Amino acid sequence: MCEEKGPTIIAADLILCLVSLPDKDKNFIMPKLPIPAGIGATLRAGTRLRGSLTGAGSAPRVLLGGGHHQARDIHHACRPSAPGGPGSQQCIKALRRQPILVQTHHPSPSTLSARQPATMHQPYSTNSSSSSPLPPGPEGPEPTIHAIFEPETFTYQYVVVDPTTRTAAIIDPVLDYDNKTRTVSTVAADGLLSLVREKGYTVSHILETHAHADHLTSSFYLQRKLAESQGTKPPVCIGKRIGQVQVLFGKRYGIDSDEYDGVFDTLWEDDAEIQVGTMKGRVVHLPGHTPDHVGYWIGDNVFCGDSLFHPAIGTARCDFPGGSAQAMYASAQKLLTLPDHVRIWVGHDYPGQHPESPEPEAMATIGEHRARNKHVREGVSEQEFVAMRSERDNKLAAPRLLHESLQVNIRAGKLPKPSEGGLRLFNLPVKIPEGL
């Protein structure tokens, strides 16, 4: 697609390619095509797209947004078209409705032959009994990975593809929900479907890392649409402990068990093997954020959901029911026993919290986490982590879509059944002052 070897970025109908530039400008990506409206989430009028590559032998890492050089095409796209026309704020809002799609990693024969053996580091601490090293890693080809950032909920969705058979798994897809207008839409999910269709992929699995509390899942919608388009229905899969989460929140929100019993097609055992085309993956139990949380280890990549975040951010919160800072520390140690070159793909990124790189980043290596993860870098003890994580969690507000997300996600993305009056309803708690 690009004339020169390097990462390819796709945003709406835009194609950008890394080009050779003078040393002082090596971090900029220049457009090969005009820049259309709807380019992505982190852009503002007058900004330049920029990108960078990691060192030799590692997968390309592409950064979007930020930058201080002017890109006039974007600037013009956000100006009023005529007196009294839409202003830049309205334009920016329209841009934010389109997720960024980044083709982050394309394996090659040289990449496959250069894969390092899956020798493990020793855990930093043996205080936690659940920080035992992982079993041997999965074998098979390295995947092609599409990392799609959904800006309204700061969520990374993934399409992970076997390059040999073009069989794919979708991880943690988002269903759009506006809690001000109480409107559900499928912009993000339809973007995934468009990618699958345009690339000629066949989806074999829809994988959830846990019952999310900050965004709704589109797993059920995707399953139904993919069954129609490809003739086979990919199973919706999650870790085996989802049952305890369903019962807890089913009771809390008054949801009948017949609305969540059996909604997931596959409940993974710990260390279960996943087959996606010719690729083999492994399910890794990563409790801490929630008790049911799992990650997916495919090739030299772990899709870790809400466990490790960008090294400048650290780790996910642990204050939800069943969450545990001790368990999060143990899960982090489990991941950090992997070789330094293994890539960790995050469930969310909050670029405003890592000012040295103000754009969303999907991936960092185990080596980077060991060296500089804010919460679990080498030398941080379990006691230090638990104290820090607990203090931090006590100051965090509840997620904006907490109640709606949990009610949909324990149903595997199915919406509430209509009431007798024909309405689909969420149950929302009300805070009442004492004595009222």
Q: What is the pLDDT of residues 222-252, one digit of tens each?
A: 999 999 999 999 999 999 999 999 999 999 9
CA distance 347 to 214: 11
CA angle 123, 125, 126 (to 5 degrees): 90
CA distance 201 to 78: 34
Look at residues 7, 280, 346 and name the one whose alpha carbon lies nearest to residue 143: 280
171-204 pLDDT, tens digit per residue, is: 999 999 999 999 999 999 999 999 999 999 999 9
User: Does the pLDDT value for residue 365 go beyond 50?
Assistant: yes
What is the predicted pLDDT for the residue at 39?
Answer: 30
Q: Per-residue confidence at 336, pLDDT binned at 50, 70, 90?
A: very high
User: Does the pLDDT value for residue 353 go beyond 90?
Assistant: no
What is the predicted pLDDT for the residue at 106?
Answer: 61
Instruction: Kindly state the percentage of the chain with pLDDT values over 90.
Output: 65
| Sheet of strand 167-171: strand arrangement | 30-31, 14-17, 8-11, 100-105, 144-150, 155-161, 167-171, 202-207, 236-239, 266-268
How confident is the prediction for the chain on average, in pLDDT? 77
| Count of C-beta atoms within a 10 Å radius of residue 316 | 27
The label of the residue with tokens 């809690």 reads 179
Q: Per-residue confidence at 138, pLDDT binned at 50, 70, 90?
A: confident
What is the separation of C-alpha 66 from the centre of its chain, rounded to a whole number of angstroms? Answer: 20
What is the predicted pLDDT for the residue at 134?
Answer: 74
Query: Which position has the higher pLDDT, 4 or 158?
Result: 158
What is the predicted pLDDT for the residue at 354?
Answer: 80
Look at residues 335, 302, 294 and name the one whose alpha carbon lies nearest to residue 131: 335
Amino acid at 146: H
What is the separation of C-alpha 164 from the centre of its chain, rounded to a whole number of angstroms? Answer: 24
What is the predicted pLDDT for the residue at 78?
Answer: 27
Find the Cα–Cα–Cα–Cα dihedral 71, 350, 217, 249, rounded to 10°: -160
401-435 pLDDT, tens digit per residue, is: 999 999 999 999 999 999 999 999 999 999 999 98
Amino acid at 403: H
245-271 pLDDT, tens digit per residue, is: 999 999 999 999 999 999 999 999 999
User: Does the pLDDT value for residue 210 go beyond 70?
Assistant: yes
What is the predicted pLDDT for the residue at 356?
Answer: 75
Instruction: Kindly state the percentage of the chain with pLDDT values over 70.
Output: 69
Q: Tokens for 267? A: 């409940």
Give the predicted TM-score (pTM) of the model: 0.74
Asked if residues 301 and 354 have their Cβ atoms less than 8 Å apart, the reply is no
User: Does the pLDDT value for residue 96 go beyond 90?
Assistant: no
The dihedrals phi and psi of 79, each to the nearest 5 degrees, come to -90, 155
Asked if residues 170 and 206 have their Cβ atoms less than 8 Å apart, the reply is yes
What is the predicted pLDDT for the residue at 105?
Answer: 58
Within 8 A by CB and 6+ apart from 276, the residues are: 143, 160, 162, 167, 168, 169, 204, 205, 298
Residue ranges of the domains in the chain?
Answer: 1-74+87-98, 121-409
CA distance 306 to 287: 9
20-48 pLDDT, tens digit per residue, is: 333 333 333 323 323 233 333 333 322 33
CA distance 279 to 238: 19
Q: Tokens for 218? A: 């589109």
CATH of domain 121-409: 3.60.15.10
What is the predicted pLDDT for the residue at 3?
Answer: 34
User: Does the pLDDT value for residue 168 go beyond 60?
Assistant: yes
Q: Tokens for 406? A: 């949990």
285-304 pLDDT, tens digit per residue, is: 999 999 999 999 999 999 99
60-86 pLDDT, tens digit per residue, is: 323 333 222 222 222 222 223 333 333
Asked if residues 152 and 176 have their Cβ atoms less than 8 Å apart, the reply is yes
Look at residues 263, 279, 307 and name the one whose alpha carbon lies nearest to residue 414: 263
Packed helices 219-230 and 187-199: angle between N→C axes, nearest 10 degrees: 30
Q: Tokens for 53? A: 């590559």
Find the Cα–Cα–Cα–Cα dihedral 352, 289, 295, 234, rounded to 10°: -100
Find the Cα–Cα–Cα–Cα dihedral 250, 254, 258, 261, rounded to 10°: 0
What is the predicted pLDDT for the residue at 133?
Answer: 62
CA distance 12 to 96: 12
Packed helices 242-253 and 402-409: angle between N→C axes, nearest 10 degrees: 120
